């Protein structure tokens, strides 16, 4: 099973943060592929920079290559799907949601607003 992952879930998973639920960890570990929207990678860069850990970002990218992650591009299909999503969501959330909708996969997110628009969320 493929799962799409949002920024918090991915960051908490790679840093072994206890904020990530056991249910979410299990979904990541059991997924055949973890789909990472490209905007999520950029948000992770922002988080590292914000915490003066930019030097760890290169290691993070290396980890993405080693594990079962697929970076999903911000392509024309994602952009077109994003346009159809209500504008009350922030743009990065719309892109993440659009990616999950396009590949019809569960989405790992704690974001309650996204959950209003997508029934296939795995939250905590």
Strands (E), 13-108: 33-37, 69-72, 107-108
pLDDT classification of 123: cutoffs 50, 70, 90: confident
The pTM is what? 0.92
* Strand partners for 122: 108
Torsions phi, psi for 89 (to 5 deg)? -85, 150
State the CATH architecture for 2-122: 3-Layer(aba) Sandwich (3.40)
Q: Tell me the pLDDT tens digit for each residue of 20-49.
A: 999 999 999 999 999 999 999 999 999 889
Report the share of the chain in percent with pLDDT over 90: 78
Domain ranges of the chain: 2-122
**Quick one: which of 24, 37, 3 has its CA closest to 106?**
3
């Amino acid at each position: 099973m493929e799962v799409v992952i949002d920024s918090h879930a991915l960051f908490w998973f790679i840093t072994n943060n206890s904020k990530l639920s056991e249910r979410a960890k299990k979904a990541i570990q059991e997924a055949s592929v973890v789909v990472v929207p490209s905007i999520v990678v950029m948000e992770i860069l922002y988080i590292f920079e914000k915490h003066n850990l930019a030097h760890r970002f290169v290691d993070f990218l290396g980890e993405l290559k080693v594990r079962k992650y697929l970076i999903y591009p911000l392509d024309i299909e994602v952009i077109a799907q994003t346009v159809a999503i209500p504008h009350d969501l922030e743009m990065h959330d719309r892109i993440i949601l659009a990616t999950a909708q396009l590949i019809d996969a569960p989405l790992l997110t704690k974001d309650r607003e996204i959950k209003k628009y997508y029934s296939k969320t795995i939250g905590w």
